[in-house]
Chains A and B, each alone.
Chain A
Amino acid sequence: MSCEHVRSRLDDHLDGKLGSRESEEVRRHLAECSGCRAELAALEELRRRVEGLPVALAPSRDLWPGIAARLARPAAASAARSPWPAWSRWLGAAAAAVVCAAVITGYLLSRTESKPVQTATQAGRDVGAAFASASGEPHYRQAREQLLAALAVRRDSLSPQTLAVVSDSLRLLDDTIVRISGALEKHPGDSHLDRLLASAYRQELELLQRATRLPRES
């Protein structure tokens, strides 16, 4: 074994990753080569010093005030190209929840047979978008529960076929939300996943809203 070869294997040797045969060859070379022994010693010294590095380091100043100030503002810069209406970015989560409740109540109250055709798209987007802001998930869950309850109240007025399409789609969206949330758990802070999750929340809420205002079928 040449010195150059041994030196390229020293790291693995130290980490215990060499097979027994190669390990033995390295050991034999080291016994005869002071140059490579010095290399190994330097590697071991480096490792010792790395292990001695402090686990925590203090920043030059207290960073909390800067953080606290930003907690008061909803997530802004992370959503680079957001399709959501501008007002959702400036509302705090609490205010957004109030708006959401009002919108949902509005929908439930307006549910009459002969009202003119309106699309839920824009309103649903507003509601869904509100949950994409800071700490949105508990509010999303709350809105989802309210809408599911409203849907349960009127499920008898929908045909079995319609109910099947709606519940299959809800299951699909729930499934998607679980998968994306799982991915986020492993990759927290990934802005692409954030956008996908917010989108899935929004689509689920839009679907629930549409379902609560479908025309009576029986």
Chain B
Amino acid sequence: MTDPGANRGVGGRQTATGECAAASDELLVRRARQGEVGAFEGLYRANVGRVFAVCLRLCGEPSLAEELTQESFVRAWQKLGTFRGESAFSTWLYRLAVNVALGHLRRRLGQAQPVDELVGTPLDGGGEAPAPEAGIDLERAIAQLPDRARVVFVLHDVEGYRHEEIANLAGMAVGTSKAHLFRARRLLREALA
């Protein structure tokens, strides 16, 4: 899979668009940093779909995802001063959105979760929400995954993060991340069968 947070290089179509987007983003970023809200709106329009998609897939609820999307852009505006252009703006923005979404989820996932929360084999339900219903489409199946499994699946298989980064971001051991991925894929396969 491609770099985390970057445009997914599916069939090359995204990459070309990605390059164009990066160039115009740069100009908008410069102007937005000076306080030009209109330029920031341009950055919003160019990136909102992608930000919303990652928020929605991570949290599984559309109205919550909309709130998280707004929160991400507001934070991005506030943090523009700290963006140093070492990566593409969109990469930085998506990373911020992932942080915002995980920050919200962390409160829901609870503070006192032990690191190795999986009991027994990865196929064990672990006491979280039930598996997705059979025969539904992929987006809905992902939304119905248990929280941690969904986060790992979205970050790894959809967004292309590596287990080390996921472990770092979501506060779990690398092995736990792999186990969650295994479980997520298993549950999704059963749901889509």
Query: Which A positions have Cβ atoms within 8 angstroms of B?
Result: 8, 11, 39, 42-43, 45-47, 49-51, 53-61, 63-64, 66-68, 70-71, 75, 78, 93, 134-138, 181, 184-185, 187-191, 197
The interface on chain B, measured as residues whose beta carbon lies within 8 A of the other chain's beta carbons, has a size of 53
Q: Which of B1-26 contact A (CB under 8 A)?
A: 7-8, 10, 14
Q: Kindly supply a per-residue 1/0 record for chain B positions 51-64, scoring 1 wherever the CB is within 8 Å of any chain A CB and 0 otherwise.
A: 01100100000100
- Would B77 and A134 count as touching, CB distance under 8 A? yes
Task: Give chain B residues whose Cβ lies under 8 Å from the Cβ of A53.
Answer: 138-139, 158
Given known pairs A45-B192, A75-B78, the reply for A56 and B53 (CB within 8 Å) is yes
A66 CA / B80 CA spacing, docked (Å):
19
- Would B157 and A50 count as touching, CB distance under 8 A? yes
Residue in A64, A67, A70 whose Cβ sees the most chain B Cβ within 10 Å: A67
Dominant SS among interface residues on chain B: helix
A136 CA / B139 CA spacing, docked (Å):
39
What is the minimal beta-carbon distance from B94 to any residue of chain A, in angstroms?
A: 10
- Would B73 and A134 count as touching, CB distance under 8 A? no
How many A-B pairs with Cβ below 8 Å? 124
B35 at the interface (CB under 8 A from A): yes
Q: List 22 A-B contacts (CB under 8 A).
A: A49-B192, A57-B49, A59-B66, A59-B69, A63-B52, A64-B48, A66-B70, A67-B73, A67-B74, A70-B74, A71-B74, A134-B78, A135-B77, A135-B78, A135-B80, A185-B84, A185-B92, A188-B75, A188-B79, A188-B96, A190-B99, A197-B82
B65 at the interface (CB under 8 A from A): yes
What is the minimal beta-carbon distance from B11 to any residue of chain A, in angstroms?
A: 9
Given known pairs A51-B10, A68-B37, A189-B96, the reply for A59 and B77 (CB within 8 Å) is no
Task: Give chain B residues whose Cβ lies under 8 Å from the Cβ of A51.
Answer: 10
A135 CA / B83 CA spacing, docked (Å):
11
